[in-house]
Amino acid sequence: MAGFREYKVGARLFAMAFGGSMCITLLFPSINIAAVSSTDVALSKQLAVGHETGFNLEDPFLQGKNKPTVVALKADPKTGQPLGEAMSVFVYQPGTTFPAGILHPRILGQGIEQLSVEQGHITDAQKAYGAVFTVSKGTYQGKEFSYIDNLTATKGWMPADVMHSAKDEDISHAGAGKTYFVREGCWWCHTLLPEQTQDWQVFGAPPMLGDFNGESPTAFGSDRKAPDLMHVGSRNSSKEWLMMHFFNPRLVQPHSIMPRFDYLWGEKDASGNKIDYDKWRAEYDEYREGKRVSPPDVPAYASDSEIRSLIDFMLSLK
């Protein structure tokens, strides 16, 4: 065996060079990034989206399982007393995995971690019973912070009670929607990160340092063939427009090159009737050929359809 007799110096230099490079590109940035505190955006985003929206063992086929719901709560679910203004709560049904910030409060950042644990009791939340969270304000060492409040522990609100008192239009399935956003590859064309400089005029403010704590995957996207979506819910909050645009983008934007996502409507429409896609496409083709005056109507989506969750996610991107 010839071995590396002549290469002792080279092998050591290689170890130094590669090891040094790994220190600079992995160790040092990780120290910096680990010190980043969560912003309000990061707190509500991870609570809304849940543990993981890419491949994971609880939802291996990315069907939007194991996800929380966001409820705009108008009345106290225990007493039925109306609340002054609607309150955004994040409902984790029993068995739903909690997001990284609940499982590892350390990633929330100085102050937020202490408030969330001591006042918000997030470490008391148990997967087997589910929990209801919200983002509250509190003071730690004289400074004000937002923190995660486990309402199940602090107010005794159970997931089932909250869901019982909520109407369908007050519920957002943004977490499941983000899963479909990842699965359908929306991020291959739509970024979730505005570019530098003038882009901010059109697509809104760039994210802050702590906006991503607890989020996975971040799905920034890199190859932008379509508008940035980071703040799309602030630019366009029309469910009707989004519905038509997803079903066939050419209905609202004749020059769009976006694929049709009509298959996300599933088998049945909102009234439980079977959706006849072949008929719709045939009628749409007639419209395109000028044989019809107007395109066929887009079927209203069922409240448990995948497209509903995806639209909820779009609207959550404020």
Partner 1 sequence: MFKYLFAKNEDIPAGSAAVFFGFSAIIWFVIGTGLGSFNAAKLAFPDFVTGNIYFAFGHMRQVHVMAVIFGWISMAFAMAMMYITPALGNTKLWSEKLGLWNCLLWNLGLTLGLTVLWAGITSGREYSDFPWPVDLYLAFFVFIPLAVNVWMTILNRRTQGIYTTNWFFASAVFMVIIVFLVGNSPEFFHLTGLTEAYLTWWFAHNVLGLWITPVAAAIAYYTIPKVTGNPLYSHRIGHLHFWSVVVFYSTPAAHHLMSAPLPEWLKSFASVEGVLILVPAIAFVSNIMLTMKGKWHMFVENIEVRFTITGCLMAIPLNMQGGFQQTRAINWYIHGTGWIVAHAHLALLGFSTFLEAAAVYLGLQTIMKRKLYSLTLANMHFWLLLIGFTIYWVSMTIAGLIQGAGKIYEVPYIDVVIAEHPYMIARWIGGTLVFTGNILWLYNMWMTARKGTEVPEGRMPHELGYER
* Residues 172-231 contacting partner 1, CB under 8 A: 182-189, 191, 193-199, 201-202, 206-209, 211-227
Which C-beta is closer to partner 1: that of 45 or that of 152? 45
Alpha carbon separation from 140 to 107, 114, 120, 146, 255 (Å, rounded): 17, 8, 12, 10, 53
User: Own/partner pairs for 82-87, CB < 8 Å, 24+ apart?
Assistant: 86/170, 87/134
List binders of partner 1 among 68-127 (CB under 8 A): 100, 107
Which range touches partner 1 (CB under 8 A), out of 26-34, 69-77, 79-87, 234-242? 26-34
Alpha carbon separation from 48 to 19, 91, 169, 309 (Å, rounded): 39, 9, 16, 12
Site string for partner 1, 138-157 (x = CB under 8 A): --------------------
* Minimum distance, C-beta of residue 81 to partner 1, in the bound complex (Å): 37
CA 67-305-274 angle, to 5 degrees, is 155
Site string for partner 1, 49-68 (x = CB under 8 A): --xxxxx----xxx------
Which C-beta is closer to partner 1: that of 86 or that of 297? 297
* Minimum distance, C-beta of residue 109 to partner 1, in the bound complex (Å): 11
Q: How far apart are CA 234 and CA 301, in angstroms?
A: 22
Q: Among candidates 203, 192, 232, which has minimal Cα distance to 312?
A: 232
Q: How far apart are CA 150 and CA 169, in angstroms?
A: 24
Q: Among candidates 209, 257, 203, which has minimal Cα distance to 227?
A: 203
18 binds partner 1 (CB under 8 A): yes
Of 8, 29, 95, 129, which one interacts with partner 1 (CB under 8 A)?
29
Site string for partner 1, 277-296 (x = CB under 8 A): x---x---------------
* Minimum distance, C-beta of residue 292 to partner 1, in the bound complex (Å): 17
Of 130, 175, 249, 299, which one interacts with partner 1 (CB under 8 A)?
249
Which C-beta is closer to partner 1: that of 86 or that of 202? 202
Which C-beta is closer to partner 1: that of 24 or that of 86? 24
* Minimum distance, C-beta of residue 44 to partner 1, in the bound complex (Å): 14
233 binds partner 1 (CB under 8 A): no
Q: Tell me, by CB under 8 A, how many residues bind partner 1.
A: 88
Which C-beta is closer to partner 1: that of 77 or that of 194? 194
Of 123, 154, 259, 269, which one interacts with partner 1 (CB under 8 A)?
259
9 binds partner 1 (CB under 8 A): no
Which C-beta is closer to partner 1: that of 85 or that of 278? 278
* Minimum distance, C-beta of residue 46 to partner 1, in the bound complex (Å): 8
Kind of pairing, strands 82-92 and 171-172?
unpaired
Which range touches partner 1 (CB under 8 A), out of 14-22, 111-119, 160-168, 309-317? 14-22
